[in-house]
């Protein structure tokens, strides 16, 4: 099984040279045993998390129809009971976007404001259709459920059920009273009401309904018309509908400010809105990848570059969330000093391997956008540790390659990839890329014997970004070391240039042979500003714009179109991925190709908009022939980094206006 892995990069940062340190085998390197100090949260960051973790929102990872009040942990769950006259009753409790199993609920996500002030979903399950909207009203929650035209032939109407409890072992009591549910936390009393119950009428009928397996207080009613739950005070159905309409209008006005990028703003606010959760183990708000992934990993999973990209995307509308996504990714840094491929519930991580080093360009981009020095102070030490780790543990004869240090403690016994060739390839984030089909793993040095153009380019960009950060922090010695490191690898990268091929090529370090299997990563020297203008001219005209390789209606595939693996259209074997387009776009910005860049941006945006407008999907990856994401089950339907295909359009328009 593959473990799929995943910058706001300020574009000025990729122009600064550096160099690095040779690598000794990991087990004998003088710094191999060094342990990194635990990540320390600043007072500013603690305050930021308190700001984020407040109020009503869809904080519970397990269901998008559960609304939770933070910091109390008070939850209102919306459930639907399918009724039958015989033996096929069923209860839908937890609802997720993108489930693909037979008979699973289908969720069509609508708008989700950053702060949860407006949310909108349409759902179908067992022939029933319904809509769920929520809004904030003077600090209270109003939650409106409306039945939609039904396809079911069942003679009985479904039952709408609202249950109330406290999550994550938070202290509190919930009591059912006539016409209301009273909740008491350590902080306050919150009363919950339903338009389905009149306090003047006998509520015994509702209280004896058998809605297994629901336990504890609830509201329930035949779902024949709109039903609303409110907090704080009793509201009529028209009052709830008015509050929802006002919240929807405010949301629509906020995303319509820029007509050129409005659809993208809507998509990314919606995607991150539904994907952002409160993670109780470490008491934090964060945007892991889709909820389906996080639930499958026990509650959350933070992939390295995926969540850095989530920080970039959040920067279009929520600075605090952007900072949180970057900082929480760095918070997972291991004792060896690297940000892991994955960090999951239970505090398990890939202690053997990292993922692409895009953290520094992400953080510097956020700093250049928002200008807050405390953010640099908070993130720089972890980024510097990580940068040093690459040169000490992934250097092979002066080149950089992917690896997996299976001997690192503690060993994740359920992860069979640690310390293997598979684990080393997973470090690339390109789990089944054809580039690595013939790459050999050296079990003594724990690395692939494979000089990787993409890794070296991203690392040079990482060094350059960190050097700029060091300058801003007055760390002259660090800045000097980083620039020396960058320059060394920049010179080594030039040895991978092939004049005949007109592009930088990966190299098999066993045979010394260059690899002619081309991927978007072969363009990443542009990202590092490590290619000469003449080299870039050849790369763009001979390869990027070549319809037999990367150009076409849908761009750009994760392996060249004329590669035998392209026809697979299986994950990284030919499909289109938002992060690859984004990193190539950043590279194009470093050189004078405005027309090519403009068309590249428009093609990327067109691919993004196709499924967003048709289905409300933001896909993990897309078919490079059909321009679709739903053609395979391995492309998650609501995976936030798919929106990078639209972010390039946003950035291009933003640059024009500034």
CATH number at residue 553: 1.50.10.10
Q: In what order do the strands lie in the sheet with 227-231?
A: 106-112, 118-125, 128-137, 140-148, 227-231, 189-194, 180-185, 172-177
Half-sphere exposure at residue 496, Cβ-oriented, CA atoms within 13 angstroms: 32
Evaluate whether 608 touches 646 at the Cβ level (below 8 Å): yes
Evaluate whether 255 touches 269 at the Cβ level (below 8 Å): yes
List all residues 6 or more positions away from 325 whose beta carbon is below 8 Å from its beta carbon. 286, 287, 307, 308, 310, 311, 314
Alpha-carbon gap, residue 95 to 8, rounded angstroms: 31
Quick one: tokens of 520?
């978007």
Half-sphere exposure at residue 239, Cβ-oriented, CA atoms within 13 angstroms: 15
pLDDT of residue 201: 65
Evaluate whether 362 touches 379 at the Cβ level (below 8 Å): no
Looking at the fold, whether 97 and 68 belong to one and the same domain comes out as yes
Q: Indicate whether 303 belongs to any domain.
A: yes
pLDDT of residue 202: 57
Q: Indicate whether 260 belongs to any domain.
A: no
Q: Indicate whether 648 belongs to any domain.
A: yes
Alpha-carbon gap, residue 470 to 478, rounded angstroms: 6
Hey, which bits of 340-495 come out as E strands? 342-344, 348-349, 395-396, 399-400, 441-442, 447-448, 450-451
Evaluate whether 4 touches 432 at the Cβ level (below 8 Å): no
DSSP tag of 300? -
Looking at the fold, whether 218 and 295 belong to one and the same domain comes out as no
Residue ending a domain, choose from 254, 270, 301: 254
Looking at the fold, whether 418 and 490 belong to one and the same domain comes out as yes
Looking at the fold, whether 41 and 106 belong to one and the same domain comes out as no
Evaluate whether 544 touches 596 at the Cβ level (below 8 Å): yes
Range of the domain at 201: 64-254
Looking at the fold, whether 93 and 16 belong to one and the same domain comes out as no
pLDDT of residue 262: 82
Looking at the fold, whether 19 and 105 belong to one and the same domain comes out as no
Looking at the fold, whether 308 and 160 belong to one and the same domain comes out as no
Q: Indicate whether 80 belongs to any domain.
A: yes
416 exposed, middle or buried (CB, 10 Å; 0-12, 13-18, 19+)? Answer: exposed
Q: Indicate whether 588 belongs to any domain.
A: yes
- Please give, one letter per residue, the 3-state secondary structure of 79-131: EEEECCCCCCCEEECCCCCCCCCCCCCEEEEEEECCCCCEEEEEEEECCEEEE
- The values of phi and psi at residue 562, to 5°, are -90, 10
Looking at the fold, whether 247 and 389 belong to one and the same domain comes out as no
Looking at the fold, whether 341 and 244 belong to one and the same domain comes out as no
Looking at the fold, whether 35 and 72 belong to one and the same domain comes out as no
The secondary structure element, H or E, covering residue 219 is strand 218-222
Residue ending a domain, choose from 210, 238, 254: 254
Q: Indicate whether 383 belongs to any domain.
A: yes
Helices (H), strands (E): how many in the chain?
Answer: 16, 27
Q: Indicate whether 54 belongs to any domain.
A: no
pLDDT of residue 209: 67
Positions of the chain with pLDDT lower than 50, given as ranges = 1-33, 205-206
Looking at the fold, whether 241 and 389 belong to one and the same domain comes out as no
Alpha-carbon gap, residue 549 to 547, rounded angstroms: 5
- In the chain, the number of structural domains is 2
Half-sphere exposure at residue 133, Cβ-oriented, CA atoms within 13 angstroms: 23
Q: Indicate whether 111 belongs to any domain.
A: yes
Looking at the fold, whether 73 and 41 belong to one and the same domain comes out as no
């Amino acid at each position: 099984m593959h473990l799929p892995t995943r910058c706001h990069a300020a574009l000025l940062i990729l122009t600064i040279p550096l160099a690095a340190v040779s690598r000794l085998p990991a087990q004998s390197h003088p710094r191999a045993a060094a342990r990194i100090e635990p990540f320390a949260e600043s007072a500013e960051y603690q305050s930021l998390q308190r700001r984020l973790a407040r109020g009503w929102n869809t904080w519970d990872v397990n269901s998008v129809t559960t609304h939770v009040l933070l910091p109390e942990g008070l939850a209102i769950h919306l459930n639907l009971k399918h009724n039958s006259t015989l033996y096929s009753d069923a209860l839908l409790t937890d609802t997720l976007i993108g489930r693909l199993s037979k008979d699973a609920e289908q969720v069509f996500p609508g708008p989700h404001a950053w702060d949860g002030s407006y949310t909108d979903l349409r759902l179908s399950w067992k022939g029933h259709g319904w809509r769920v909207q929520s809004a904030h009203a003077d600090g209270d929650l109003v939650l409106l459920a409306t039945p939609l035209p039904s396809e079911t032939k069942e003679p009985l109407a479904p039952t709408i059920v609202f249950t109330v409890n406290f999550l994550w072992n938070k202290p509190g009591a919930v009591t059912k009273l006539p016409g209301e549910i009273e909740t008491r936390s350590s902080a306050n009393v919150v009363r919950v009401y339903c338009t389905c119950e009149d306090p003047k009428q006998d509520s015994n009928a509702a209280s004896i309904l058998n809605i297994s397996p629901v336990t504890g207080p609830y509201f329930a009613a035949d779902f024949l018309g709109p039903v609303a739950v409110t907090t704080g005070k009793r509201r009529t159905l028209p009052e709830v509908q008015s509050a929802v309409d006002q919240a929807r209008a405010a949301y629509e006005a906020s995303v319509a400010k820029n007509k050129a990028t409005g659809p993208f703003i809507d998509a990314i606010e919606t995607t991150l809105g539904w994907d952002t959760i409160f993670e109780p183990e470490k008491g934090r708000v964060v945007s892991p990848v889709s909820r389906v992934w996080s639930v499958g990993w026990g509650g959350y999973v933070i992939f390295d570059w995926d969540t850095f990209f989530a920080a970039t995307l959040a920067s279009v509308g929520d600075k605090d969330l952007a900072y949180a996504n970057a900082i929480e990714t760095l918070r997972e840094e291991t004792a060896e000093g690297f940000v892991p491929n994955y960090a999951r519930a239970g505090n398990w991580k890939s202690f053997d391997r990292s993922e692409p080093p895009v953290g520094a360009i992400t953080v510097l981009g956020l700093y250049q956008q928002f200008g807050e020095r405390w953010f640099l102070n908070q993130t720089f030490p972890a980024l510097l540790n990580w940068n040093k780790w690459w040169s000490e543990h992934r250097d092979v004869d002066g080149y950089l390659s992917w690896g997996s240090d299976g001997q690192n403690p503690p060993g994740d016994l359920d992860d069979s990839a640690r310390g293997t060739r598979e684990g080393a390839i997973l470090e690339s984030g390109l789990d089944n890329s054809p580039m690595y089909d013939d790459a050999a793993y050296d079990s003594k040095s724990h690395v692939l014997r494979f000089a990787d153009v993409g890794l070296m380019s991203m690392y040079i960009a990482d060094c350059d970004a960190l050097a700029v950060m060091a300058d801003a922090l007055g760390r002259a010695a660090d800045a000097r070391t980083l620039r020396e490191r960058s320059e060394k690898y920049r010179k080594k990268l030039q040895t991978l240039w092939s004049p005949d091929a007109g592009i930088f090529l990966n190299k098999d370090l066993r045979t010394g042979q260059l690899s002619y299997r081309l991927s978007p990563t072969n363009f990443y020297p542009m990202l590092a500003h490590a290619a000469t203008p003449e080299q870039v001219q050849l790369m763009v005209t001979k390869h990027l714009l070549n319809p037999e390789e990367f150009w076409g209606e849908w761009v750009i595939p994760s392996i060249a179109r004329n590669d035998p693996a392209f026809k697979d259209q299986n994950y990284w074997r030919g499909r289109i991925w938002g992060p690859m387009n984004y990193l190539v776009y950043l590279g194009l910005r470093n050189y004078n190709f405005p027309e090519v860049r403009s068309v590249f941006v428009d093609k990327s945006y067109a691919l993004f908009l196709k499924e967003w407008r048709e289905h409300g999907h933001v896909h993990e990856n897309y078919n490079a022939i059909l321009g679709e994401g739903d053609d395979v089950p391995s492309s998650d339907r609501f995976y936030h980094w798919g929106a990078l295909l639209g972010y390039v359009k946003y950035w291009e328009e933003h640059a024009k206006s500034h």
